[in-house]
Amino acid sequence: MSLNLEQYISEFSAQNINGEHLLQLDGSKLKALGMTSSQDRAIIKRKLKEMKASLEKARKAQEKMEKQREKLRKKEQEQLQRRSKKTDKCSSDATEGTNEQ
């Protein structure tokens, strides 16, 4: 509707074309859905290309965030391990000092 192509809504609905299916459409599939106007197909293909690019950008951003979270988790684990080792060493040193007395 936002592309002013309302005339195709009934056929897309009848063929159960949802967002996932829509991204798989190419010129010949659009033609088979009754989209006879090459201008209309061009509009849809251009919009689909934009949507795919947007999805790819979002996917990459999500991957980047996940990598950053994983890096932060590893850093936190390393810090906890270092603290644990320091605590163990201090406890060990204190025990040795008590044993020497």
Is 73 within a domain?
Answer: yes
Is 21 within a domain?
Answer: yes
Which range marks the domain in which residue 28 is found?
Answer: 6-83
Is 12 within a domain?
Answer: yes
Domain count, the chain: 1
Is 99 within a domain?
Answer: no
pLDDT at 85: 80
Q: What is the CATH number of the domain that holds 39?
A: 1.10.150
**Span 77-86, pLDDT tens digits:** 999 888 888 7
Helix segments in the chain, DSSP class H: 9-14, 19-22, 27-32, 38-100
Comparing 78 with 2, the larger pLDDT belongs to 78
Is 88 within a domain?
Answer: no
Is 71 within a domain?
Answer: yes
**Span 32-75, pLDDT tens digits:** 988 999 999 999 999 999 999 999 999 999 999 999 999 999 99
Instruction: Name 3's Cβ contacts closer than 8 Å, sequence gap at least 6.
Output: 43, 44, 47
Please check the confidence at residue 4 and state whether its pLDDT lies above 80. Answer: yes
Is 98 within a domain?
Answer: no
Measured distance CA(39)–CA(7) in Å, rounded: 14
Contact 9, 1 (CB under 8 A): yes
> What Rg, from alpha-carbon coordinates, does the chain have?
30
